Amino acid sequence: MSTTKPTVLLVHGAFADAGSWSGVIAELQGYGIPVIAPPNPLRGLASDAAHIASVAAQIDGPVILVGHSYGGALITVAGAAENVVGLVYVAAYVPEEGESLGALQGRFPLAPLVSHLKEWTYPTPGGEPAVEVTIAEDAFPSVFAADVPAHVTRVLAAAQRPLAAAAFDEPAATAAWQTKPSWALVAGADEAINPEVQRFGAKRAGATVVELEGASHAVAVSQPKEVADLIRDAVRATA
């Protein structure tokens, strides 16, 4: 084990930004744990994971990657970086090598979020428009953040960041949980990712699992202490 306390690198998922980690960051800083939360491009699994891996590689000392939602797929791939010593999944996808999010999600009944996605287009370097998705604002509170105060969800819905639709079809190039220890928090009342998807991935990865029965997909916002405590467990186990 390293004698240096790991730095926690928080990776947000789709329909959110790094600000969604604010409560968790405050808790971790209160524990004296070094933490950063970089922006996630949300343009594709391979390119986004490469971005996160590059951030991790530039941190001196060991790193624990924490991924929420789609961010779980990114840490699964980026976690292969040499200085990554642990993975923490928060209401997240935990894919296998060669598996896409669409394939993983397709093993189970789809969550309500799927029927409330709104399509947009964005320009690409080649000139052809590509599709990205957000959650319809009127459905956002119920499917993403049912346990968050209404005045907060209105802001989150307005500020959500879109995910490139093609990201659901990209296979994970590797699965770092095969060689790195992992922890997982299952949001028991998640309407964005079926909790069964979360449980399946966590069990397959051999993760240490904590389940919060009434937690929504926005569990990092609604229950930051519980999320931070699981991350602290990972820090203690790898320090």
Q: pLDDT tens digits for 94-127?
A: 999 999 999 999 999 999 999 999 999 999 988 8
Pairing of strands 130-135, 84-90: unpaired
* pLDDT over 50 (residue 237): yes
Q: Which of 9, 71, 68 is nearest to 34 (CA)?
A: 9
d(CA 25, CA 30): 8
Q: pLDDT tens digits for 136-181?
A: 999 999 999 999 999 999 999 999 999 999 999 999 999 999 999 9
Mean pLDDT of 189-207: 98
- What was the pLDDT predicted at 1? 37
Q: pLDDT tens digits for 66-87?
A: 999 999 999 999 999 999 999 9
- What was the pLDDT predicted at 127? 85
* pLDDT over 80 (residue 195): yes
Q: pLDDT tens digits for 41-56?
A: 999 999 999 999 999 9
Residue owning tokens 């819905």: 157
Averaged pLDDT score across all residues of the chain: 96
Coil, strand or helix at 187: strand
Q: Which of 85, 82, 105, 76 is nearest to 3 (CA)?
A: 85
* pTM (predicted TM-score): 0.97
Contact (CB, 8 A) for 118 and 135: yes
Provide the β-strand partners of residue 163.
Answer: 133
pLDDT band at 2 (very low <50, low <70, confident <90, very high): very low
- What was the pLDDT predicted at 181? 98
